[in-house]
């Protein structure tokens, strides 16, 4: 331990013998670390937002459907689970932030001018509040008030296309399980805005009971969705739901339902690591170079220390400690700077300049960077471990010097 204290002091002083060189290297490490962590935070934010947006439409972290529903999302594939049974099962448990049952079928919406294909969501607005991407309070007009509300809420973009507005009537056409056309007139009671415009064209909301009546399906529903606290870990919700359903229908996690979003998350993890390693490699050339130089200009001194009885292993240790010290300082400053850079962006960065492009990637146009502790740790650990490995070679060379030769070297 005493020896280590000496090594640390020696290393520290050696670092500042050529302060210019050390500072330049330090600057490079700081910049590299900053870039690693900052960029990762931006990317993480993007993906999280994307997944969160995706789930808000899917929606639900765990979903229950008829086994055939996913390939054939029609009225023929319904499940029957009563809301009473669900509230009894989930009601007591505080772990579940929300659940809802809904009808979700394709339909055609027609105004006096136009018709469009949409996805009809028959919902109970009281269950949906936390689940849907629609902000009830921001709806022009009003959102649905109950499951047997007779109105319909459509997207603003769809309303423009259909040439309709709040208070006007539209006709919704779909089919019942016997393939009889099921249609009904609705009064438009609200227009919603979504952060991804495609949603405004794709979804319309009607009361669940009203929809069930229109489609003549009794109290059956298309899906049950359960929302957990964290989309990254939905196992508790999944297990609890599986237990309730007990083989009566198909229970899936969101990752299994949306392959694109699911792979985005894992691709992201891989990308973070690749990015950190690439930056490190770019740094490593400079790092090794600095160490080689530091060893080279101290050959005589190293020889002297060896001649005075310092063991080669301690020379090796000294060079490595020097390198790790340099890296640690750089990492600390770089991490702090990255944290500082993320702070002013906490409330979101507006990317609406490329908004439609972001939509194409499945993201909304406001970016919230996400600084994950695990990424910070990953970056720091990777740099320290690889930095240790990179400094082995110059340190090893230093330890191999013959004292006599080294001392006499000019």
Query: Rule CB under 8 A: is residue 300 a binding residue for another protein?
Result: no
What residue ranges in 229-318 does DSSP mark as E strands? 250-253
Residues 6+ apart with CB under 8 A from 321: 4, 7, 8, 11
Does 389 bind another protein (CB under 8 A)? Our answer is no
| Residue 275: both structure tokens together | 């990015």
360 binds another protein (CB under 8 A): yes
The answer to whether 62 touches 254, Cβ cutoff 8 Å, is yes
Segment lying near another protein (by CB under 8 A), choices 56-64, 216-224, 274-282, 322-330? 274-282
Q: Which residue has the tokens 């929300």?
A: 98
Which of 14, 63, 174, 211 contacts another protein by CB under 8 A?
174
Pick the piece of the chain touching another protein (CB under 8 A) from 142-150, 333-341, 355-363, 377-385: 355-363
Residue 408 within binding range of another protein, rule CB under 8 A:
no
**Among 114, 135, 229, 350, interactor with another protein by CB under 8 A:** 114
Quick one: tokens of 373?
């502790």
Question: Residue 361, interface with another protein (CB under 8 A)?
Answer: yes
Complex with another protein: residue 241 or 364, whichever CB lies closer:
364
Shortest distance in whole angstroms from residue 205 CB to another protein: 16
DSSP E strands in 69-180: the ranges are 98-110, 115-123, 140-141, 151-155, 169-175
Q: Considering CB under 8 A, how many residues would be counted as binding another protein?
A: 72
- In whole angstroms, the minimum distance from the beta carbon of 19 to another protein comes to 12
Task: State how far the Cα of 192 lies from the Cα of 140, in Å rounded to an integer.
Answer: 6
Q: Taking the complex as a whole, how short is the minimal distance between the CB of residue 285 and another protein, in angstroms?
A: 3
Q: Which stretch binds another protein (CB under 8 A): 105-113, 133-141, 246-254, 368-376?
A: 105-113
Query: Is residue 336 a contact point for another protein (CB under 8 A)?
Result: no
Does residue number 188 form part of the binding site for another protein (CB under 8 A)?
Answer: no
Nearer to another protein, 281 or 377 (CB): 281
Q: Does 282 bind another protein (CB under 8 A)?
A: yes
Cα 380 to Cα 81, 126, 376: the distances in Å are 50, 46, 6
What are the backbone dihedrals phi and psi of residue 251, each rounded to the nearest 5 degrees, phi first? -110, 130
Q: Is 106 in the site for another protein (CB under 8 A)?
A: yes
Question: CA–CA separation, 319 vs 253, rounded Å?
Answer: 51
Q: Per-residue string for binding with another protein, 70-89, x by CB under 8 A?
A: -xxxx-x-------------
CB 223 within 8 A of CB 101: yes
Cβ(407)–Cβ(304) under 8 Å? yes
CA proximity to 382, closest of 32, 12, 14: 32
């Amino acid at each position: 331990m005493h020896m280590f204290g000496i090594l640390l002091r020696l290393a520290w002083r050696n670092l500042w013998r050529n302060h210019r060189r050390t500072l330049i290297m330090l600057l490079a490490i700081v910049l590299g670390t900053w870039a690693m962590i900052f960029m990762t935070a931006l990317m993480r934010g993007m993906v999280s937002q994307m997944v969160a947006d995706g789930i808000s439409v899917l929606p639900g972290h765990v979903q229950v459907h008829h086994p055939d529903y996913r390939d054939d999302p029609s009225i023929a594939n319904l499940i029957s689970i009563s809301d009473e049974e669900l509230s009894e099962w989930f009601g007591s448990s505080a772990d579940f932030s929300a659940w809802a049952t809904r009808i979700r079928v394709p339909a055609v919406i027609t105004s006096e001018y136009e018709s469009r294909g949409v996805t009809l969501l028959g919902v109970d607005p009281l269950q949906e509040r936390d689940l849907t991407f629609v902000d009830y309070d921001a709806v022009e007009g009003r959102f649905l008030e109950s499951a047997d509300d007779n109105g319909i809420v459509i997207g603003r973009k769809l309303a423009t296309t259909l040439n309709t507005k709040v208070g006007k009537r539209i006709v919704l056409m779909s089919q019942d399980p016997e393939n009889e056309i099921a249609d009904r007139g609705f009064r438009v009671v609200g227009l919603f805005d979504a952060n991804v415009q495609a949603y405004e064209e794709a979804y319309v909301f009607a009361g669940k009971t009203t929809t069930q009546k229109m489609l003549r399906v009794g109290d059956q529903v298309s899906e049950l969705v359960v929302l957990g606290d964290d989309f990254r870990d939905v196992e508790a919700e999944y297990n609890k739901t599986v237990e309730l359903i007990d083989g009566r229908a198909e229970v899936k996690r969101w990752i299994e339902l949306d392959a694109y979003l699911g792979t985005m998350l894992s691709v992201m993890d891989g990308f973070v690591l690749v990015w950190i390693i690439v930056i490190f490699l770019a740094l490593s050339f400079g790092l090794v170079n600095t160490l080689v130089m530091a060893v080279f200009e101290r050959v005589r001194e190293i020889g002297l220390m060896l001649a005075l009885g310092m063991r080669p292993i301690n020379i090796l240790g000294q060079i490595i400690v020097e390198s790790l010290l340099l890296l640690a300082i750089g990492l600390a400053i770089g991490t702090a700077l990255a944290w500082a850079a993320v702070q002013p962006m906490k409330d979101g960065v507006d990317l609406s300049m490329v908004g439609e492009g972001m939509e194409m990637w499945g993201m909304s146009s406001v970016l919230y960077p996400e600084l994950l502790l695990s990424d910070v740790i990953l970056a720091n650990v990777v740099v320290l471990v690889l930095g240790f490995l990179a400094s082995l070679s110059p340190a090893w060379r230093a330890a191999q010097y013959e004292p006599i030769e080294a001392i006499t070297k000019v």
